[in-house]
Amino acid sequence: QVQLVETGGGLVQAGDSVTLSCVASGESFTPAMGWFRQAPAKEREFVAAINWNGQSTYYADSVKGRLTISRENAQNTVNLQIGSLEPEDTAVYYCAATFSRHYHDAGQYTYWGQGTQVTVSS
């Protein structure tokens, strides 16, 4: 099974940037990776995804232009850089792995990390 560990969350100021990292282990092959976020009392929403070889990226329309997802295949690490943070970005951010190509659908992700909290103060 794939094990995922997210790091990089914390308390940040509005307008700042944050970089989240997800390290995958437990498999010798590489699945596609995605980032989701979930705010209190809200459903989990898709943020970004990157395919197995890192050559294709996908972003939610609501965050396109502020986020960059990248992959470091040698370390099985996926990074999510969020710029111009807003209080609305406050959420638990989850890294997930899928062997499907339906990257926007949380139900297609087989493995999930425990999440990292990002809190943006105004």
Return the C-alpha torsion angle 42, 34, 6, 31, nearest 10.
140
Buried residues in 41-66 as b, exposed as e (16+ CB within 10 A): eeebebbbbbbbebeeebbbeebeee
Q: What is the pLDDT of residue 35?
A: 97
Rounded to an integer, the average pLDDT of 7-32 is 91
Long-range pairs for 47-53 at CB < 8 Å and ≥24 separation?
47/80, 47/93, 48/80, 49/103, 49/104, 50/78, 51/101, 51/103
The pair phi, psi for residue 74, each rounded to 5°, is -60, -30
Rounded to an integer, the average pLDDT of 63-75 is 85
Q: Is the pLDDT of residue 73 over 90?
A: no
